[in-house]
Structure 1
Amino acid sequence: MTALAGLWDRRGVQGAWEGAVGRMLDAQAIYGPEPAARRTLGEATLGRRLFSLLPEDDFDRGPVSGGDGTLLLVADARIDNRDELAERLGRSMADLARLPEPALVMAVVERWGVAGLGHLVGAFAVILWDERRRALTLARDALGERPLHYHQGDGFLGVASMPKGLHALPEVPYLTSAATSADFLALLPQGGESFFAGIERVLPGHAFTFTADSVTQMRLWTPSDAPLRLSASDYAEGLRAELDRVVASRLRRGDGAVGAHLSGGLDSSSVTASAALALAPDTLHAFTAVPGTPAPVEAGRIGDEGPLAAALAARYPNIAHVLVRGQGASPLPLLDRHFDLYQRPITNPCNAVWWDATNDAARARGVRVLLTGNMGNFTLSHDGSQYLPTLLRHGRLLALAGIARQLHARGWSARRVASTTLSPFLSPRLWEWANARLGRSWALGNYSALRPDAAQAHDIYARASARGLDLSYRPWADGRAMRLWGLERVDMGVFNKGTLGGWGFDLRDPTADRRLIEWALRVPEEQYILNGEPRSLARRAFADRLPAEILHETRRGYQGADWHVGASAALAGLREEIEAVTRCADADALVDAGRLRALAADWPDFAPDDPRWADRAITDRYRYQLLRGVAAGHFLRRVARTN
């Protein structure tokens, strides 16, 4: 990985910002400990600080020149289709072995222009200065695995990997974005603005090109919608082959061990199994977070995935299985560290406790690459439930009746089948009424600490609709559209960068590889629920790799099941943090401190194993509304520099 910085003087002054770029890089030194390298070409200065992770990083000499001296480029990149690109570029394998990622990206730009960045598969953020055109292009990979932010100032354009790079410039204000913070509290997908006023993020899968008088956007990746036509067995073999390919490509590293997050689910288990096969006989360190004390969970969830993960690890002799046991730690002490690392509030502070503990365990074992399966629900283990409303929409009633019978035979109730089939076609009001009759509610005030007047002032419902989010949370009728929306909702760039800075290893998610995504989106929906078995494709594809207890498990994991233990012990600190929110005008304007104060005062006095901790109303109020509200308030007051 690399920390990037760049400045363009749009007034035409030559070499005006070289010292400022140095300060921007120094502000991001945690993400790139090697000495800064920078270069000026006319009106623009670009620079980088390297964090060596790849074999080719030994040959990285900093900003790359090209185009007969008219182009200058820096890139934070790991390109996973290097061999394919080398062949298309006519480069030898010997040449490729000494070609660092930025030089490869420059070769692509020289051959195909900015649009050629769409040929890159992997993780990348690119800053490209074209002196001849007086144009600065900023680009990110399809899933946004590398971050990139920019600020348009008075006569200049500044770019940095993380906001703190831009805040090294006195011209950039250090203020929160109230709109983005309101969106966070309401669980909206992030828009173009970062959590800091005046600092925008380059959207994943896009290239933004700035000239003296315009800005244009180019979408670098649009997945094909042409369906695959294979036999049932070929779909399973194809998914397995695609996963093996993308896992293998993400194991490339210079040194150090490889680790994997291993839960009891299909996604992480499949990734871990594939990695173990690819690495053998070398060791794969697999980390499973388990509760420190027995904790209740609601029906249909798994609180302790340790036994399932152990069953998978036992199949592969080169897996070193590590249980990361919860210690009942409070999430509060992590807030300051996460503010510095990620530069945004944490959505689920309870999960951050076991996440940090897992990262600590991985660093202690010398891990330099940690595999995850975060996007697997949209690729590997899509459940195919949208096939039912699809059949209804197309009037295929006999096929719908057949799959309904199959689902019922597998334990689905008639009400669940009916709800899955009909709910996408209900109006939001009718859907909310039906949920209320069942004792459930998706009302914003039940899980969000956003003040009602702030929700109205920021027009949260209109903003949600503009980003494709139905705040009534009706099920989707189109599985492909749902998966594409879900993939674009989460921007992992700042988390990947923050994890590198905090623990020194690279997070890599094979299930977020665009090749796997493209393949999975082309599979007909019925293959995911074949014979009335949700997640049928993954179960068939990995039947010979996963133990039966994982293959046939229908419950979902529940991360941080013992969340209430640490939070209960930190109750005094939570109350202090809430009072601190009221002393910060920016935080108090968004966070409903009165509601949080009432929740803290009414904190349940249950024993740790009391089943009431698993009640959805309890978790919505305390795990999500209270703790997420405290996390948002802490972020806002840290930016405002209040105590």
Structure 2
Amino acid sequence: MRGFVALSWSTDDPVGVRTGRILRELAVAEGWRAIESRDASWVGVRGPNPPGVYSPRTGTLIIGEVFNHPDAVARAAEGDTDLDVATWYSRNRWGRYVILFRCPNGAVRSVFRDPSGSLAVHGWCARGVQIFASSLFEGLIAAAPPDIGFDWDRVRALAERPFDLAGDPPLTGITTVQPGHLGEIGGRSTPVWAAAAIAAAPTRRAAEARFNLRQTLDLCVSALSGRGAVGMEISGGLDSAIVGAALNAAGSPIAFGLNTRGPHAETDERRYALDVAASVGAPLTCRARDEVVYSAELFEATAGDPWPSQNGRDLANDLAVAEACREAGVETLITGKGGDALFFQMHTPLAFADLWWRRPLRSLFSGQLPGVARWTRSSTWSLIQTARRSRQTHPDALPPGKRMQIAAIASGLAYSSTCRRSEVVDMIHPLMAQPLVEWALRTPVPDLVPNGRERGLARDAFADRLPASILARQGKGDYAAYFNQQVAQNLPFLNAYLLDGRLAVARVIDRALMEARLNEDALRWSGGASEILAAVSLEAWVRRWEARRPGV
């Protein structure tokens, strides 16, 4: 997987010197390429499109890609502290990067992770060596084992809300720096960039928001795609079509378009994908997902980082995309991931509640009230009641629809978690870029879904670039029946893995409830595959990390 490792030790500590040498040799054997090697420190990168590294000033090492922010306001940081520099970068630059603030001997005193969170940062100290890495490999853990444990309350919370990735990770003994934070190993974590603070001051009108969206999206897509030909996931949905059109407008060639499908008719979006591919001049490869026999090895293979991987739990798609990209020889895969949160695809009465919060009387006579009622299949009276209750419950908070959007944007961190695809290609998600997220945060939810039109602002902003079939399409592929069938076909493995697993023993999951879900008839009539697969991902993660504990 694309990423970095940074090691440092004291030359006066024989244990640290020896451990540092062992870790360097292991890293090189695993495919990490040294970009800095000193007496007391070593930095390596790896993966498809390995991140670039440069030092803009003494004691500062930036790993990744950094671009000028379209709303940059200052030429240089006002102050020399780590916090001053991190704050300046958060306001005047964007990209996929981390900043290591280092002492003269190469030891890292603090790390800033860019607000998009594209590049992870995990750190610990062991056997005389300080370690920071974006992804972990077995040799690293074995040669310098962290003192790990589990925060079972956090694990339980993830079992209930698997995409709630804000806050502390469920693993103790390793420091994970959160996006937009300046952190230290086992020390303080200072928020430098906060979504709620940006959303607290909406400044855009609908017409301005449409214009700025187009400008900002084109800038982000052009910067992230680089100058060479790229591959792209073309699902047939609105979000990937918008990104593909932006690539086309920027003159970035799409050498490889990929569409995958399951065996059910409702998963087949080839008709729409072909329309998108034709409109941007991209060759399209269509792949059917093969049936997969579940196993512990398959799930645990992507469970080695301090956060459980939700990105690889759809095994059939993960394997299909990885193989297709390997055969095509592409190193960069652009996606439309993150668009549901950015453009507000969520069907919720809160899309009206936010207007009520801003303009209670005018909202009653707006097109938003009947529009959202039609969209959510609710009565106008129930929408008004929901809006009133939300105001009474949280009178001083952000509007409830905006809070929902912030949570949805944060859950997009799952798209950067380890999977088989990321071992083959550099997966880039332009719709999660910092300038676009800030655009969405500053745009009121009612403007994103005017009169209850799902992603209406985005549709209007790119109407002249998109095929008519995409503009007219309201839904998207439905994989619920497909996942239920996949789970039903693997019930013997799932029953043993979950009902006799670590989560059941620790009472993280309700064993009786899970047993009722792991039933072919229940899956056929009530569904539940999503909850089951989320539990499997968490189970695989716990087992992988328990096996790494010393003495196991």
Calculate the TM-score normalised by the size of structure 2.
0.81
Is 1:353 the equivalent of 2:316? Answer: yes
User: CA separation in 2, counterparts of 1:74 and 1:133?
Assistant: 10
8 Å contact 2:374–2:452 — kept in the other structure? no
**Residue in structure 1 matched with residue 232 of structure 2 by the alignment:** 260
- Residue 123 of structure 1 aligns to a residue in which SS? strand
For 1:242, give the aligned amino acid.
T
Does structure 2 conserve the Cα–Cα contact (< 8 Å) formed by 1:74 and 1:127?
Answer: yes
Q: 1:277 to 1:352 in 2, by over 3 A?
A: farther
Q: Could you say if the C-alpha distance between residues 547 and 173 of structure 1 is closer, same or farther in structure 2, counting changes exceeding 3 Å?
A: same
What letter matches 2:178 in structure 1? L
Q: Cα–Cα, structure 1 residues 176 and 364, in superposed 2: closer, same or farther, change >3 Å? A: farther
Question: Where does 1:359-508 land on structure 2 (aligned, <5 Å)?
Answer: 359-381=322-344, 386-394=350-358, 396-403=360-367, 406-407=370-371, 411-412=374-375, 415-423=378-386, 425-426=388-389, 477-492=399-414, 495=417, 498=419, 502-503=423-424, 505-508=425-428
* 1:570-606 C-alpha deviation (Å, 9 max, x unpaired): 222223323651xx58855434444434443x3229x
The correspondence of residues 64-103 of structure 1 with structure 2, limited to 5 A, is 66-67=57-58, 71=59, 73-81=60-68, 88=75
Query: Counterpart in 2 of 1:196?
Result: 171
Alignment of 1:4-403 (within 5 A): 4-7=5-8, 17-24=16-23, 32-35=31-34, 37-40=36-39, 45-51=41-47, 53=49, 57=52, 66-67=57-58, 71=59, 73-81=60-68, 88=75, 113-118=85-90, 119-131=92-104, 136-151=109-124, 157-164=130-137, 167-170=141-144, 172-187=146-161, 189-190=164-165, 192-209=167-184, 215=188, 217-220=190-193, 223=198, 225-229=200-204, 232=207, 234-252=208-226, 257-279=229-251, 282-294=253-265, 303-317=267-281, 319-332=282-295, 334-340=298-304, 342=305, 344-347=307-310, 351-381=314-344, 386-394=350-358, 396-403=360-367
**How far apart, CA to CA, are the structure 2 residues paired with 1:111 and 1:187?**
32
Instruction: Judge conservation of contact 1:385–1:529 (CA < 8 Å) in 2.
Output: no
d(CA) in 2 for partners of 1:236, 1:545:
14
Distance 1:343 1:215 in 2: 18
Is contact 1:261–1:287 with CA below 8 Å preserved after alignment?
yes
Q: Which amino acid aligns with 2:423?
A: G
- Cα deviation digits, residues 262-287 of structure 1 (max 9, x gap): 2232211101221133245x334222
In the TM superposition, structure 1's runs of 4+ consecutive aligned residues that sit over 6 Å from their partners are 82-85, 108-112, 132-135, 153-156
Which amino acid counterpart does residue 324 of structure 2 have in structure 1? A
CA distance in 2, matches of 1:180, 1:218: 20
RMSD across aligned C-alpha pairs, in angstroms? 4.3
SS in 1 for 2:407: helix
Residue 276 of structure 1 aligns with an amino acid whose one-letter code is N
Structure whose alpha-carbon radius of gyration is higher: 1
What residue ranges of structure 1 are gaps of 5+ in the alignment? 90-104, 295-301, 432-464, 469-475, 606-611
- Aligned counterparts of 2:427 and 2:94: Cα–Cα separation in 1: 16
The 1:179/1:597 distance shift into structure 2, 3 A limit, reads same
- How far is 1:548 from its partner? 2.4
Separation in structure 2 between the aligned mates of residue 249 and residue 506 of structure 1, nearest angstrom: 15
Could you tell me which of 520, 527, 530 is aligned with 1:603?
Answer: 520
* CA apart distance, 1:242: 1.6
Q: CA deviation at 1:539?
A: 1.2
Amino acid at match of 1:248: S
For the residue of structure 1 that corresponds to 2:534, the secondary structure is helix
Quick one: which amino acid aligns to residue 241 of structure 1? Answer: Q
Name the amino acid aligned to 2:64: A
The one-letter code matched in structure 2 to 1:129 is R
Q: Distance in 2 between matches of 1:247 and 1:143?
A: 14
* Structure 1 residues 266 and 74: alpha-carbon distance in aligned structure 2, compared to 1, 3 A threshold: same
Offset at residue 544 of structure 1 (A): 1.2
Contact 1:424/1:477 (CA < 8 Å) preserved in 2? no
2:48–2:426: 8 Å Cα contact kept in structure 1? no
d(CA) in 1 for partners of 2:5, 2:126: 18
Whole-angstrom CA distance in 2 between matches of 1:35 and 1:413? 54
Give the SS at the match of 1:292. Answer: coil
Contact 2:344–2:445 (CA under 8 A) maintained in structure 1: no
Q: Distance in 2 between matches of 1:6 and 1:336?
A: 26
SS of the equivalent of 1:223 reads helix
Shift of 1:633: 2.4
Query: What count of residue pairs does the alignment treat as equivalent?
Result: 536
Question: Is 1:619 matched with 2:500?
Answer: no
- Report Cα offsets for 1:340-378 as digits up to 9, x if no partner: 4x5644448763421331222122211211112222123
- 1:170 is displaced (CA, Å) by 4.2
Q: Which runs of 5+ in 2 are unaligned?
A: none
In the other structure, the counterpart of 1:609 is none
Aligned position for 2:546:
640
Per-residue Cα deviation, 1:376-399 (whole angstroms, up to 9, x for no partner): 123235579645213333563343
